[in-house]
């Protein structure tokens, strides 16, 4: 199997030719969500980035096992080793079982991912279903001398590990700096050093998510689940580990240390990180109140949004930036993407109806080469899309009779656009959503006709009820001389 794909390996800080360990098999692990709330834009980017990689590797012919986890235990508030579990906190707030929270937000994550047309992973393991395996890895690390137990909790001994290994090799952090930065916290915990991290935590009496172990009734540290579940399903050494840049440190750095300490060798060949999303130039944060949920994006119901942006607009927008660049969401940029997306879809439609000539005046081979060159260059989707638009110009010129294409070249170009646009970039054409729009219009006409009838019969209670309940759904009805108009707020 031949591929020319190069990917930027965060570990070596270089673009490397992708050479799987056991072709034709490829193992890919991506850190999934912690399911304690609805999915936001920050969830969309890694899902789409690694979806394109998954699709492309399969397109090339590899047999890819894509594992993406669900974090449902051990991720504490503030990402540190103290405080409440994020799931348990939300469960208390909503007065439900923690696993109800997990189920609810796993379902909504799946719904959003399907809307964004990301393919489901091959395996989606839950951390809470791998407590035994996590305890086993804690034991291995203890046995190898890279962890210590204090008062029922087990911590990774970063200083000990650093004597023979390079803790910080992924993120570029330096141990001395970490020590200086975190010294203030020393003395507040059982840790030998503030940069040590929990492998197993003894549960406080009020902590509801707990499992028995030889050390204490407790729960695993957050970083452990990914070391355990990646190697359980992909083997002690596997090809690709991905995730958002925010996970590089400490989460992935700790994963490297745990796997090495347990098994004696690095588990991952290529580390890949997608960059983060900003909103109007600012980092998404709770305090700035600029977290935009995917449902809000798709419905337009968020104070920062001028309109709704459908899942394919969001997907196309994300692909218009390189995954290692930051990506800024603004209404202006999204509206530009919407136009571009429509232009591309129109061209795909035009392509299926082009007239053929006996001779071609265009070079279709050249378009294909440029497109795949961009894709192979560390998944450079913005350049790829620019070449797709060069092709769109050519398609439109042929359609206008300014250029000609023969039968063979036309089917070549049709296959190319079909493969790239739908199969690899994972876009869908909007026909599905436009037929839904049509249905909505029909339903609204039906409702407004009922309302007019009610008014005629002087049944104002019913006519007001229809208007008020539509308003609650975000649909504003305005009476006009001709009847009524409506719009989505
Ligand atoms: Zn992870």
Distance 424 CA to ligand 1 centre (A): 25
Asked whether residue 168 carries a pLDDT value surpassing 80, the answer given is yes
Question: How far, in Å, is the centroid of ligand 1 from the Cα of 231?
Answer: 12
Q: How far is the CA of 87 from the centre of ligand 1 (A)?
A: 16
Q: Give bridge partners of residue 147 from the DSSP assignment.
A: 156
- Rounded average pLDDT over 363-389: 98
Q: What is the pLDDT of residues 325-362, one digit of tens each?
A: 999 999 999 999 999 999 999 999 999 999 999 999 99
Q: How far is the CA of 238 from the centre of ligand 1 (A)?
A: 15
State in Å: Cα 116 to ligand 1 middle. Answer: 22
Between 486 and 268, the more confident residue is 268
| 279-424 fold | Isoleucyl-tRNA Synthetase; Domain 1 (1.10.730)
Q: Write out pLDDT tens, residues 107-150.
A: 999 999 999 999 999 999 999 999 999 999 999 999 999 999 99
Average pLDDT over residues 251-274: 97
Compute the distance from residue 248 Cα to the ligand 1 centre, in Å: 9
pLDDT band at 74 (very low <50, low <70, confident <90, very high): confident
pLDDT band of 186, cuts 50, 70, 90: very low
- b vs e for 100-121, b when ≥16 Cβ sit within 10 Å of the residue's Cβ? ebbebbbebbeebbebbbbbeb
Q: 419 C-alpha to center of ligand 1: Å?
A: 31
Using the mean position of ligand 1's atoms as its centre, give its distance from the Cα of residue 421 in Å.
30
**pLDDT score of 307 more than 90:** yes
pLDDT in tens, 226-238: 999 999 999 999 9
Gap from CA of 241 to ligand 1 centroid (Å): 9
Where are the chain's structural domains? 6-274, 279-424, 430-488
390-427 confidence digits (pLDDT tens): 999 999 999 999 999 999 999 999 999 999 999 999 99
Residue 375, both tokens:
């894709």
Task: Give the distance (Å) from ligand 1 centre to CA of residue 220.
Answer: 13
Cα of 31 from ligand 1 centre, angstroms: 4
CA of 240 to the centre of ligand 1 (A): 13
Average pLDDT over residues 171-177: 86
CATH classification code of 6-274 = 3.40.50.620
Confidence band, pLDDT 50/70/90 cuts, at residue 68: very high
Q: How many CA atoms lie within 13 A of 168 on its CB side?
A: 16
For 23-64, the pLDDT digits (tens) are 999 999 999 999 999 999 999 999 999 999 999 999 999 999
Q: Using the mean position of ligand 1's atoms as its centre, give its distance from the Cα of residue 256 in Å.
A: 11
Cβ density class 423-455: b for 16+ within 10 Å, e for less: ebbbbbbbeeeeeeeeeeeeebeebbeebeebb
* Ligand 1: centre distance to CA 330 (Å): 29
Mean pLDDT of the chain: 93
Neighbouring C-beta atoms of residue 49, cutoff 10 Å: 26
Quote the ligand 1 centre to 180 CA distance (angstroms).
26
Q: Is pLDDT above 70 for 196?
A: yes
């Amino acid at each position: 199997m031949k591929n020319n794909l190069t990917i930027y390996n965060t570990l070596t800080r270089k673009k490397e030719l992708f050479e799987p360990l056991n072709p034709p098999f490829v193992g890919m692990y991506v850190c999934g969500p912690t399911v304690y709330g609805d999915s936001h834009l920050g969830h969309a980017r890694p899902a789409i980035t690694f979806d394109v990689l998954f699709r492309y590797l399969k397109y090339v012919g590899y047999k890819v096992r894509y594992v993406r986890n669900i974090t449902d235990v051990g991720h504490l508030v503030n990402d540190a080793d103290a405080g409440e579990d994020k799931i348990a906190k939300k469960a208390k707030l909503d007065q439900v079982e923690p696993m109800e929270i997990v189920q609810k937000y796993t379902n909504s994550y799946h719904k959003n991912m399907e809307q964004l047309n990301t393919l489901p992973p091959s395996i989606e393991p839950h951390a809470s279903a791998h407590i035994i395996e996590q305890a086993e890895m804690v034991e291995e690390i203890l046995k190898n001398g890279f962890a210590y137990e204090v008062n029922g909790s087990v911590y990774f001994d970063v200083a000990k590990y650093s004597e023979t290994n390079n803790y910080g090799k992924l993120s570029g952090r330096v141990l001395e700096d970490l020590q200086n930065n975190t010294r203030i916290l020393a003395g507040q915990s059982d840790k030998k050093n503030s940069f040590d991290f929990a492998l197993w935590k003894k549960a406080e009496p009020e902590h509801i998510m707990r499992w028995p172990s030889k050390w204490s009734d407790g729960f695993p540290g957050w970083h452990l689940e990914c070391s355990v579940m990646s190697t359980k399903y992909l083997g002690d050494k596997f090809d690709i580990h991905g995730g958002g840049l925010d996970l590089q440190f400490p989460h992935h750095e700790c994963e490297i240390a745990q796997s090495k300490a347990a098994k004696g060798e690095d588990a991952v060949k290529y580390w890949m990180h997608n960059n983060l999303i900003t909103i109007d130039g600012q980092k998404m944060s709770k305090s700035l109140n600029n977290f935009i949920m995917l449902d809000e994006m798709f419905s337009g119901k968020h104070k920062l949004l001028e309109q709704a942006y459908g899942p394919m607009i969001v997907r196309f927008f994300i692909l218009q930036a390189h995954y290692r660049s930051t990506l800024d969401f603004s209404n202006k940029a999204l509206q530009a993407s919407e136009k571009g997306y429509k232009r591309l879809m129109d061209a795909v439609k035009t392509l299926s109806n082009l007239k053929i000539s006996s001779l071609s005046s265009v070079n279709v081979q050249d378009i294909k080469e440029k497109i795949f060159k961009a894709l192979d260059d560390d998944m450079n989707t913005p350049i790829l899309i620019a070449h797709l638009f060069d092709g769109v110009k050519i398609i439109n010129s042929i359609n206008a009779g300014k250029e000609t294409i023969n039968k063979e070249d036309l089917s070549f170009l049709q296959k190319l656009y079909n493969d790239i646009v739908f199969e690899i970039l994972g876009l869908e054409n909007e026909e599905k959503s436009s037929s839904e729009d049509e249905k909505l219009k029909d339903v609204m006409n039906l409702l407004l006709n009922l309302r007019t009838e009610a008014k005629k019969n002087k049944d104002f209670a019913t006519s007001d009820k229809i208007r008020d309940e539509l308003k609650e759904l975000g649909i504003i009805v305005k009476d006009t001389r001709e009847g009524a108009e409506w719009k989505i707020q």
